[in-house]
Amino acid sequence: MAVLLTLVRRRKGSDSVPYDGEALRRLDSSVTRARYWVTRTPREAVRLLRRVRLYNIAAAVLTTITGLLAWPLVDEGSRLTAQIVLSTLSCLAAVAVAVPYATGLHDRVEASIKLCGMYGALYGELLRARSQVGTSPTTQPPVTELIQQLHDLTARKDALALAAPAPDGDEASGEHPAPVHGAARPSRAEPCARPATGPRPTGKRRSL
């Protein structure tokens, strides 16, 4: 019985692929970058959404102005002037509505919203993989696959031109090094010392 248990343990140990230092380093780096984009991607999506809303607001304002000026121009102004002004305002309103779709801004907003959910799900998978490294005999291919998924997701994000690439290290996680306790503070500049002055020369008074 003891021999059988020993063979089973050896079998399990031979099936598991140990993590090397490079794989662990890549896993930690991937977790850091995923954490950065989990918080950064929603802000970029909101920024793009605000740009779309600005175009919509501009179109609404132009449409309102066109409606308010229609009857006064027709009643008081010439017919040609009314047609030119109203047509120009209507064209500007239509352009404001079409710009987000023509420039691909609307598609970028939808894609960035999808990226938010994908980054969140992948970040959870990376955290789960990192927590299982020292507890269960997980194999190398799943971790490598997660890292590759992060690279593919980052390529899709770069294609949308959302923001600059994530910095490395503590900057990517938004953490800043804490000040070291007990460190000597920079001393203030000493005021300039006044030059030493000796006794003033005293001359003899002239006798009258």
Q: 140-160 and 105-131 helices cross at what angle (nearest 10)?
A: 160
Phi-psi region of 10 (alpha: psi -120 to 50; beta: other; left: phi over 0): alpha
Show the tokens assigned to 56.
Answer: 């919509």
pLDDT tens digits, 114-130: 999 999 999 999 988 88
The residue with greater pLDDT, 100 or 205, is 100
136: tokens are 């269960």
Q: Which residues contact 34 (CB under 8 A, 6 or more apart)?
A: 119, 122, 123, 126, 150
CA distance 139 to 15: 8
| pLDDT score recorded for residue 142 | 77
User: Of the given ranges (41-45, 135-139, 150-154, 194-198), which has the lowest mean pLDDT?
Assistant: 194-198
For 22-31, which contacts have Cβ atoms below 8 Å and span 24 or more sequence positions?
23/140, 23/143, 23/144, 24/133, 26/147, 27/126, 27/129, 27/130, 27/133, 27/143, 27/147, 28/130, 29/168, 30/126, 30/146, 30/147, 30/150, 31/123, 31/126, 31/127, 31/130
Query: Considering the entire predicted model, what is its pTM?
Result: 0.61
- Cα(123)–Cα(38) distance, rounded to whole angstroms? 8
- The tokens describing 99, both together, are 């710009």
Q: Which residues contact 15 (CB under 8 A, 6 or more apart)?
A: 137, 139
The per-residue pLDDT for range 146-197, each reduced to its tens digit, is: 889 999 998 998 888 876 555 554 445 444 333 333 334 444 444 444 444 4
149 vs 57, 85, 167, CA distance in Å?
38, 54, 19
